[in-house]
Amino acid sequence: MSAISDGIRDDFPALTQEINGHPLVYFDNAATTQKPRAVLDAIQNYYEHDNANVHRGIHELSNRATAAYEGTRDRVAQFINAPVHEDIIFTRGTTEAINLVAATWGTVNLGAGDVILLTELEHHSNLVPWQLLAQRTGAKLRFIPVTGDEGTLDLSDFDGQLEGAKLVSLTHISNALGTINPVAEICAQAKAAGAVTLVDAAQSAGHMPLDVQALGCDFLALSGHKLCGPTGIGALFARRELQEAMPPYQGGGEMISKVEFHKSEFNVPPHKFEAGTPNVAGAAGLHAALDYLDAIGLDAIHAHDTELAHYAKERLSGFEGVRIFGPTEDRGGLVSFIFENVHALDLATLADQQGVAIRIGHHCTQPLHEKLGVPATARVSFYFYNTRSEVDRFIEVLQKVINLLR
């Protein structure tokens, strides 16, 4: 049994509503999570009391806003065990964090023929930026294959694939299949081969304990909105030594130390990578989210999510004609599936009529779906506020939907 009580749902105003006359069952947490009252209050509080621009004012409100913003940098560093808070660059989210690495580190470090090693599991966010970089620099993309419906990485030729690789960039948890990749082992091997590593932690941050030093990665990207925080704020962990040698990302205020008409000198990292007025309210919300999650405990959250995923998988396997994706072991809190002769779009539409929110489509992993030979899958993804009885309700609704469609 989970250590997290159902009472925790009371912290989430959005979870108490009815959809189409039925209590909402929100199973689209891999897309984004709901927000606890503590996060909503932190944002409201920031705007009501502390709102000002950061880093520039002499006045009290500006000092408070700067303290809120920089305080969150410390908090994020602590949350992922980064050695120093300067290792944290604020971004809009995972997508921007990866694009930042591609535009800065990638531009000066990759050249014609260099290999960017990815996996077939990657979200478009950890694929398209590298395609664009490859077009600019002449670098080549290479992919660690997945084993099929199980969705685990086939690392049998990993050593061979590392040949010529300057960068290894991979997802920690697959948003499409739920696979948890052996990131620490992969980073260690990549490092030994002289490659820089990036971990896409969009699905793992806030879902399991994260420690960048234990993972041994050079970069790590995360999104606030996927861990109870607001949209529009995320972070890039970038080891300081790498940041020093990276050119600026965008130009503007905040990122400079001295500007003349024809040239500028840049601020020190990480500010050098944060042009313009940042999302301070978002940072305040993110801080509250991290506090909230730590109070529950990341181990307890991970145990809860995976337990629900295993339970859902077990219940789903009771259906006739179902195909379930993802690994048996080491699965994150989500399950993807399809039914023979039933379109996922029909499933999701009819489930929504009964208040059950599920995701369908290629989940921003089109090439992976191409490989699996399915245009779309249906996905249920869980967070700590979901319950076993919601899974039961989902199964009951699914049965009804299947009856209607067959």
Partner 1 sequence: MSVTLNSIDELADNFELLGDWESRFGYLIDLGKELPPMDAADQSEVNRVHGCQAQVWMKLRPEAAGRITIVADSDAFIVKGLIAVLLIIYSGKTAKEILAIDCQVLLDQLQLAAHLSPTRKNGLFAMVQRVRELAQAIQVEATE
Ligand X SMILES: Cc1ncc(COP(=O)(O)O)c(C=O)c1O
Residues that bind ligand X in the complex, under the rule CB under 6 A: 30, 93-95, 123, 125-126, 171, 175, 200, 202-203, 223, 364
d(CA 90, CA 254): 13
Cβ neighbours of residue 24 closer than 8 Å, sequence gap 6 or more: 14, 15, 16, 17, 18, 355, 357
Applying the rule CB under 8 A, the residues between 291 and 350 that interact with partner 1 are: 342-343, 345-346, 349-350
- Which of partner 1, ligand X, none has residue 65 at its interface (CB below 5 to 8 Å by kind)? none
d(CA 200, CA 174): 9
Q: How far is the CB of 173 from ligand X (least distance, A)?
A: 7
Stretch 64-103: interaction string toward partner 1, x if CB under 8 A: ----------------------------------------
Applying the rule CB under 8 A, the residues between 14 and 33 that interact with partner 1 are: 20
Closest to partner 1 by CB, 4 vs 378, is 378
In this chain, which stretch among 11-19, 69-77, 254-262, 353-361 interacts with partner 1, using CB under 8 A? 353-361
Cα of 240 vs its chain's centroid, Å: 22
- Tell whether the torsion through CA atoms of 242, 243, 245 and 251 is positive or negative: positive
Q: How far is the CB of 100 from ligand X (least distance, A)?
A: 11
d(CA 227, CA 247): 30
Contact 59, 52 (CB under 8 A): yes
Residue 360 interacts with partner 1 (CB under 8 A)? yes
- Which of partner 1, ligand X, none has residue 404 at its interface (CB below 5 to 8 Å by kind)? partner 1
Q: How far is the CB of 383 from partner 1 (least distance, A)?
A: 22
The answer to whether 187 is a known catalytic residue is: no
| Element counts in the chain: helices (H) and strands (E) | 14, 17
Residue 353 interacts with partner 1 (CB under 8 A)? yes
Q: What is the DSSP track for 82-94?
A: -SSGGGEEEESSH
User: Which helix (H) or strand (E) segment is 337 a member of?
Assistant: strand 334-339
* 3 state SS of 263: coil
d(CA 135, CA 116): 12
Q: How far is the CB of 401 from partner 1 (least distance, A)?
A: 9
Q: How many CB atoms lie within 10 A of CB 112?
A: 9
Q: How far is the CB of 367 from partner 1 (least distance, A)?
A: 18
Give the chain's end-to-end CA distance (angstroms, integer): 35
Active site residues: 364
Residue numbers of the site for partner 1 (CB under 8 A)? Answer: 20, 342-343, 345-346, 349-350, 352-353, 360-361, 375-376, 400, 404-405
